Amino acid sequence: MNNSTPNNSTPNSTALPYWLSLMVLLAACYMGWKWYQVSQFEANRSAGGIEMAGPPLEEFELQERSGKMFRSADMQGKIWVTTFFFSTCPGPCARLNERIKYMHNQEELKDVTWVSITVDPKTDTLEVLRTYADKFSADPERWLFCRGDLKYIKRVGKEIMKLPVTWQGHNESAVVIDRTGKVRGMYDMTSISQSKKLELLLKKCLVETTSPENQPETKPAEPGVAAEQAAT
Domain 50-231: which CATH number of 3.40.30.10, 3.40.430.10, 3.90.79.10, 2.60.40.1220: 3.40.30.10
- How many percent of the chain have pLDDT more than 90? 54
Q: What backbone torsions phi and psi does residue 90 show, to the nearest 5 degrees?
A: -75, -20
* Residue 62 or 157, more confident: 62
**Span 74-119, pLDDT tens digits:** 999 999 999 999 999 988 999 999 999 999 999 999 999 999 999 9
* Residue 69 or 228, more confident: 69
Which residues touch 80 (CB under 8 Å, ≥6 apart)? 112, 113, 114, 115, 176, 177
At 30, the pLDDT band (50, 70, 90 cuts) reads: low
d(CA 39, CA 16): 35
Interval 162-182 mean pLDDT? 83
pLDDT of residue 213: 40
Q: Where are the domains of the chain?
A: 15-47, 50-231
**Span 211-225, pLDDT tens digits:** 434 444 444 455 444
159 DSSP assignment? I
Q: What is the pTM of this model?
A: 0.70
